[in-house]
A and B are shown apart, each in its own frame.
Chain A
Amino acid sequence: MVDQFEGPIVRLGARIAVVVALMIIYLPPLYLLAISFNEGLQPAIPSLDQVSIKWYLALAEENKLLAALGESLLVATVTAVIATTIAFFSALAYMEMSEHRSGWFMFVIFSMFVPGVIQGLSLSVIFTKLGIPSFWATVVAGHLLWAMPFAFTVILTMLAVVKRSYLMAAADLGASWGRRLWDITLPLVRPGLIGGFIFSFLLSLNEYNRAFYLVGRQNTWPLDMFGKMNSGASPTIYALSGSILIASFLAVVLCLLLTWKRVVKTS
């Protein structure tokens, strides 16, 4: 076994890199979160007696923002249902394939690499030409292409739990393909499906670029928020950002606990 052949300086350097990476990612959002609990109007870290959820309560009055949030929740739910379903079928197809697996993998995740603005613009032009007005479903169409590749990789990782021998044993005992799917694969990958659903939901909920050209008269929250962020900061912006950050954080943690427990147990 390799034991600490790096030497203390290299080990320290590598650890510092982790700390730097985590700070770059987490420090600003945490700072925003702290500010969101400040009682005053100015953005500052509250001292203990200034901590208040005043701006969170004020969110209830922001009707325009709440309507946008409602629209986002609708879009995210529909996106997540469709993305998870199609991703599951695509992952099963991957497993059943004996060749062209790499090609199929690249095909399914390709849309992840298309810049959101270009994807949104091209879709919106097509919809306009087809006479389809912009409404929540056109936003779903754009978000689907962003969420599906992630759901696909999550479910594919989870499918590794389903050992080939289980399926072969079932087949030897006379189980049909559908029966094997229902009794063996589905129960084993259920956490992966839930994970894929939550991830797709969050990706859609937070997506800004792809919705830009596709929204109808009702904005989604990131679009509504973008305007607010650029026109003088009101503390409710911090409160809404804080709520969304906390909700996303909890959802991802739940997801990870669900999927990783299973993957770790079997590997």
Chain B
Amino acid sequence: MNRTVLLLATPAIAVIGLLCLAPLVLVVVWSFWTWDPSTYWIKPDLSFAAYEAIFEAGRWKVLLDSIIKALLTGLICLVIGYPAAYCIHFLAGNRSAFLLMGLFTIPFFTSYLIRSFSWRLVLGRNGMVNSTLMSTGLIDEPIEWLLFSDFAVIVGLVASYLPFVIFPLLLSMRKVEKSVLQASLDLGASFFQTLRTVLLPLTKAGCFAGFLFVFVMSLGSSTEVKMLGGAAASMISVMINDVMRVVNFPLAFAISSVVILFLLILLYVGNRHLKLAKLFEDFSW
């Protein structure tokens, strides 16, 4: 480490350290303190009450449910994203590949709130899907479960975070030598044999990174559930908001700590085994 590096790195270390890491560490510490009704704040008495409270009132079910929703979203994104990335990288010409990559870049920077909200117009009672199906005579009454349901939440999540799976996949496909695929073909393997034994193993890091991105983003999401979920629908972020409405700081901190720890382990394992950072580095230098 020379002085130039240190000097250049200082602003980022300061901002991330002070604004991101320090508050998170304090939240974890505070989650073990005791609620003090006289000050509406907490006092430094070691307590696990908040963690016990996670197992009450069905809160652990919300945690589990969020994880299942995030897993499902990640898998669906992978199933749609892999062939889409394959098409962009292997099938599309230069110009259309750039056009498609542009089209998949735009949603990163448009409002997630508006995009979730717009699904209401598509899935609602008088929405696009129902009115189309009714006018073609396929159904007589509007389908009710399309909106304000887990189905709508999953659709909204997939729509929001699908681009997060495409780019890691593209980066990993870019590193696959085409001659390797040709060799497999020359040796008599069918396309699906080549896919299963050559291409998929070579793009494993991209699959994992893409899945992880979608999983993490979905786990932390709240707008999709608030906009599209049913009356009782919850998600970790929504649960934290609810807990904070009754200023239950320790419980909010305990839930946050569990989530942060879970994400840290995931990122650590991901980086350790599949070299997440490497995926981006080869691309950038």
Question: What residues make up the interface of A, taking CB atoms closer than 8 Å to B?
Answer: 1-2, 5-7, 10-11, 13-18, 20-22, 24-29, 31-32, 35, 43, 82, 85-87, 89-90, 92-93, 95-97, 101-108, 110-111, 113-119, 121-123, 125-126, 141-142, 144-145, 148, 150, 153, 156-157, 159-160, 177, 199, 202-203, 206, 208-209, 212-213, 222, 225-226, 229-230, 237, 241, 244-245, 248-249, 251-253, 256, 260, 264
Contact = CB atoms under 8 A, between A and B. Distances in A.
Nearest to A249: B106
B84 A21 contact: yes
B72 interface: no
A249 B108 CA distance: 11
B109 A252 contact: yes
A144 B23 contact: no
A144 B87 contact: no
11 contacts: A17-B87, A18-B87, A18-B88, A31-B121, A89-B12, A93-B5, A95-B285, A96-B8, A108-B16, A226-B113, A244-B111
Contacts of A209: 220, 222-223, 237
Interface residues of B, number: 93
A122 B24 contact: yes
Contacts of B22: 126
Contacts of A177: 4
Given A18-B87, A93-B8, A104-B9, 12 more contacts: A14-B90, A17-B84, A21-B84, A27-B122, A113-B216, A117-B241, A118-B237, A118-B256, A118-B260, A119-B20, A226-B223, A241-B117
B4 A102 contact: no
B113 to A, nearest CB: 5
Q: Which of B182, B220, B226 has the most CB of A within 10 A?
A: B220
Given A29-B115, A113-B263, A89 B26 contact: no
B236 interface: yes
B37 interface: no
Interface in B165-199: 166, 178, 181-182, 185, 191, 194
Interface string B231-242: 000001100110
A126 B23 contact: yes
A103 to B, nearest CB: 8
Main secondary structure of the interface of B (DSSP, over half): helix
Interface of B: 1-2, 4-5, 8-9, 11-12, 15-16, 19-20, 22-24, 26-27, 30, 80-84, 86-88, 90-91, 98, 100, 102-115, 117-119, 121-122, 126, 128, 155, 158-159, 162-163, 166, 178, 181-182, 185, 191, 194, 216, 219-223, 226-227, 236-237, 240-241, 244, 249, 252, 256, 259-260, 263, 267, 271, 275-278, 280-281, 283-285
A17 B80 contact: yes
B109 A115 contact: no
Given A24-B159, A113-B216, A122-B26, A2 B83 contact: no
B20 A111 contact: yes
Contacts of A43: 121, 126
Contacts of B182: 1-2, 5
Contacts of A107: 12, 16
Contacts of A251: 109
Contacts of B11: 85-86, 89-90
Most buried by A among B1, B87, B216, B219: B87
Contact of A125 (B83, B90, B119, B249): B249
Given A27-B122, A145-B16, A245-B111, A116 B237 contact: yes
A115 B121 contact: no
Nearest to B275: A102
Given A118-B256, A125-B27, A106 B178 contact: no
B85 to A, nearest CB: 9
A263 B5 CA distance: 25
Contacts of A14: 83-84, 86-87, 90-91
A223 B58 CA distance: 28
A28 B281 contact: no
A106 B108 contact: no
Contacts of A85: 11
Given A150-B108, A252-B105, A117 B121 contact: no
B75 to A, nearest CB: 14
Given A5-B191, A241-B118, A121 B252 contact: yes
Contacts of B104: 21, 25
Nearest to B156: A28
Most buried by A among B16, B166, B259: B16
Contacts of B166: 21
A224 to B, nearest CB: 11
A102 B277 contact: yes
A260 to B, nearest CB: 7
A2 B24 CA distance: 50
A105 B87 contact: no
A216 to B, nearest CB: 17
A18 B277 contact: no
A18 B100 contact: yes
